[in-house]
Amino acid sequence: MPGATATPDVEVIVEDARGGGGGGGRPPDGGDGGDDGDYGKGWQREPPSPRRFSTGIAIAMVSILMFFMALASAFLLLHHSSRVWVAVHLPRILWANTAVLMGSGFVLERSRLRLSNGDARGFRKLWLVATVMGLLFVAGQLVAWRQLVAEGVYIASDQASSFFYIFTGAHGVHLLGGVAALLFVLLRNFEKSQISMSLAAEITSYYWHFMDGLWIFLFALLYLGR
Amino acid sequence: MVIHDSGGNHPEKPRESFISRYLFSTDHKTIGLQYLWLALLSVFVGMAMSLVMRIHLAWPEMHIPFLSALGSSPERYATLPVLHGSLMVFLVLTAAPQLGFGNYFLPLQIGAREMAFPGLNLFSLWTTVVSLFGITSAFLIAPQAGITLWIVSVSVFCAATLSSALNFTVTTIDLRAKGMTLPRLPLTVWAWFINAILGMLVFSILLAACLCLLSDRFFSTHFFSAVDFPASPPANVAPGASPVLWQRLFWFFAQAEVYIAMLPCFGIVSHLIATFSRRPVWRERLVVLALCGVGLVGFCVWGQHMFSSGLNPFSPLVFSVLAASLGLPATILLVSWFAALWNARFQLNTSLLFALGFVSLFLSGGISGLFLARHDFTSASVTEDFVTGHFHLVMGVAATFAILAALFFWFPKLFGRRLNEPLGKLHFWLTFAGVYAVFMPMHWLGLGSHVANNPGANLAAIRSWIGPARSFITAGIVITVFAQAVFLFNFLWSLFFGDRVEEHNPWRATTLEWSMASPPPRHDFGAPGPVVYRGAYAFAVPGVAQDYIPQHVAPDRVVKAN
C-alpha cells in the first residue's frame, strides 16, 4: 500500500482509492481500435464524454462573438465620433452572397434531417451541397473585394472601407474554418472516432448557423452605417 | 528540462523518446510544468529589465556591460518598461498561476484524467513559447520592427490564452469525476474556472485590438493613427482617427487582466489558508460568490483608466462606483482568510508565510487602490509613481507571493521532494522587506510630485528628498533581485537533493491530487477513476478520528473517534 510510509496518523483513514503501486497497471490490451491519439491507450479509462465537444463549441462561439463585438464597437465609436465619414458603396453581390449563405444553412438542416432518418447517402449529398454553397459565399466575398478595388476603394482609403475589409476578412477566415469542419464531417471515418457522425454534424451545424447569423449582423452594421 | 521521472510507475509501458515525452507531450502535467519553467525564465528576464530601468533612473551614466553595446537611445529605454510589463503580466502573472498550476492541478483536483482537448493544450503551450520568444527578441532589434514584432507576439499570446481558456472551461464543466458536484469543487478550481471564462471574453478583445493595430501598421489603415503623433499629426492622418478607441479597447482588456492575474491567486491563498489552519473555509459559498463578483466587476471597470481622456461626464462616476464596489468581494475574501486564521493552530511554514505575505501586500496595495478609484483624485495628475507603486504591490508582487506559496505547497507533489524550509524562510523575509522598501517610497514619490504641482509648494524641500528616495528604491530593488538567488538556488538544489517525500499526502490535505503518488503517475488516476464523497474542506469534522477527511474516502471508511 502506497500510504504505508505516511505519518502514523494518516494511514488510518487515507485508503488509497486505487491500491497498488500508483497507477494500478492493468496490461494494455493492445490497441483497441486506434482512437484519437491521446485517449486510445489500453489501460486507461474511457475517453471523456463527447459532450465536451458541444460545450467547447458553445464557449468558442462566445469568444468569437466577443472578438466581433470589439470590432463592432470600434466601428460604432469611430462612426459616431468621426466628422467626415465616407461611406463605402456596398457591392450588389453582397445580397446574393447573403442569400447563398442562408441557403447553405437551410440545406445543412435538411441534410441533418436525412441523417436522423437513416438516409446516409442523402445526408452526404446535401451536406456536400451546403459545403459548396459555403465556398461559393467565400468566392462571392472575394468578387465583392475585386469590385471595390476596381472602384478604387482600398483597405486604407478611409475608415469605412477599412472596417468593410476587416469585417469581411475576419468573418471569411472564421467561415473557412467552418468549411474545413464541414469537409471534416464529410470525409472522416467515424467508425474509429470518439464522436458519432450525427453529433459531429450537429456541432458543425451550430457553428455554421452562428457564422450565418454573424454575417447578417455584420452586413446590417455595414448597411446601416452607410 | 528537469522533470522527475515517473516512468517507473508503468513498467509495462515502453519508454517514450525525449521528444514525445517532453516537447510534444499532451500530458497536462508535463504541459503545466513547462509553463512553470517558462514563467521562471520570464520572471528572471523581466527582473533584469526592471533592474536596468531603475539603475538608469538613479545613476544614468552607469556603464552596463552588455546593454551599453546595444546603444542607449531613448527608444531603447522606452522599450524596457513595455517589455518588462508584457513579460511579467503575460508570461509570469497570467501563465504561472493559471496555465502552470492550473494545467497541472485542475484535472487532478476534479478527478479528470486529462484536459478536455489535450492537442489544443499542446498548441497553446507552443504558441506561448513562440510569443515569449517574440517578446524578448523585440528588445534586440530596431525599435519600429520591434514594436511590430511585439504586437504580433501579443496576438499570438492571445490565441494561446484563448485556446487554453477554452480547455479549462470545458474540462471543469464536463470532465469532473463522479460525485464532484459544483459545490464540492475546491476554491482553486473555482478560481481557475471563473478566470478562464473571464479570459475567454477579454483576450478576444485584445486580439481584435491587435488586429486593428497590425492593420494600421501593415496596410496603413487609420484605426488609431493619431496615437503615434500626439504633438503634430502629419497630413496623411485621417481626421476621425482616434486614440480614445485604442484606450477603450486596451483598457477593456487590461483592467480585466489585473483580475485574471489575481483570481487564481485568491483561489490558491484561500485553499492554502484553509489547509494550513486546519479549518473549513469560512462561508465557502460566499467566497465562491465573491470570486464570481471579482470576475464580473473586473469585466466592467475598464473606464476607470480613462478618467482624464474625455468620457461622457457621467461615466467616470459610474466607473468610480464600480471600481470601489470591488471592495466588497475583496472584503469578503479578506474576512474569510482572517476568520480561518483567527485562533487557529497553524504551522508557520514557508508556504503559509508566502500566503500571509500575499494577504499583507493585497491589503496595503488595495488601500491605495481605493484612492485611485476616485475619479477626481486620478484626474488630478497623480504621477505615475503612485500608480506604479500601487499596482506592483497589489498585482505584481502579491501575485508572485501567491505563486511562490503555491510552489512551496505543491512542490512535493510535483517532484516528490521538498523545498528547503530555512532557505525558503530566508528568501521570504528578504523579499518581503525588499518589496515594501521598493514600492512604499514610490507612493510617496507620486504624492510628492503631486504636491509639487500646487502653487506655493515648498519645491526645494520636495526636491531635496526625491533624489535620495529614488536611490533608496534602486538600492532596494538591487537587494531584492539578488535575494531571488536564494530562491533559485533552493529551487534547483531541492529538485535534485531535497528531502524525499515518500508519503502521498505530506500536508494532510483533502483534495484529490494528494490521493496519488508524488509525482503522479503518467495516467493520473488509472482505470476506475476516483469517486468524490464530500466537499473540499472537510477539516475538523466532529466525531472523526483525524482532523481532516479526504474527498475520495467513502463514508463507511472514515474512522470514527473513540
Q: Rounded mean pLDDT of A56-85? A: 87
Nearest-CB residue to B208 (from A23, A60, A71): A71
pLDDT of residue B416: 92
B463/A contact by beta carbon, under 8 A: no
A59/B contact by beta carbon, under 8 A: yes
Cβ atoms of B268 and B291 within 8 Å: the answer is no
With a threshold of 0.90, tell me whether the complex ipTM lies above it: no
Q: Rounded mean pLDDT of A73-88? A: 78
The alpha-carbon radius of gyration of chain A (Å, integer) is 25
> Looking at chain A, how many residues does it have?
226
Q: Which candidate in A12, A32, A38, A145 is best for mutational testing of the B interface (most B CBs within 10 A)?
A: A38
Alpha-carbon distance A12 to B151, whole Å?
Answer: 56
Beta carbons of B175 and A48 less than 8 Å apart: yes
Write down the H helix ranges in chain A.
51-81, 93-116, 120-150, 159-187, 197-224
* pLDDT category of residue A27 using cuts at 50, 70 and 90: very low
**Alpha-carbon gap: B211 to the closest alpha carbon of chain A (Å):** 9
Residues 6+ positions from A137 with CB-CB distance below 8 Å: A97, A100, A101, A104, A175
A2/B contact by beta carbon, under 8 A: yes
Residues of chain A with CATH 1.20.120.80: 52-224
Beta carbons of A62 and B200 less than 8 Å apart: yes
Helix (H) or strand (E) holding B439: helix B421-452
Give, in words, the CATH class of A52-224: mainly alpha
pLDDT per residue as tens, chain B (562 positions): 344 444 334 434 455 677 777 778 889 999 999 999 999 999 999 998 888 888 877 777 777 766 666 666 677 777 888 889 999 999 999 999 999 999 999 999 999 888 999 999 999 999 999 999 999 888 888 778 888 999 999 999 999 999 999 999 999 999 999 899 999 999 999 999 999 999 999 999 999 999 998 998 888 887 876 534 444 444 444 455 556 777 778 888 888 888 899 999 999 999 999 999 998 998 899 999 999 999 988 888 765 555 555 555 566 667 777 777 788 898 999 999 999 998 888 888 999 999 999 999 998 888 877 777 666 665 444 567 888 888 888 888 999 999 999 999 999 999 999 999 999 999 999 999 999 999 988 888 887 777 766 677 677 777 788 888 888 988 898 889 889 999 999 999 999 999 998 888 999 999 999 998 888 988 888 777 889 999 999 998 888 888 899 999 998 888 887 7
pLDDT of residue A23: 33
Its pTM stands at: 0.87
pLDDT of residue B304: 58
Closest CA to A114 of A126, A131, A128, A130: A126
Residues 6+ positions from A148 with CB-CB distance below 8 Å: A88, A89, A91, A154, A161, A164
Contacts by A131-135 with C-beta closer than 8 Å and gap 24+?
Answer: A131/A104, A131/A179, A131/A182, A131/A183, A131/A186, A133/A100, A133/A101, A133/A103, A133/A104, A133/A107, A134/A101, A134/A104, A134/A175, A134/A178, A134/A179, A134/A182, A134/A208, A135/A179
Q: Among A85-99, A111-125, B345-359, B441-455, where is mean pLDDT lowest? A: B441-455
pLDDT of residue B291: 94
Alpha-carbon distance A104 to A137, whole Å?
Answer: 9
Q: Which three cell numbers stand for residue B105?
A: 492541478
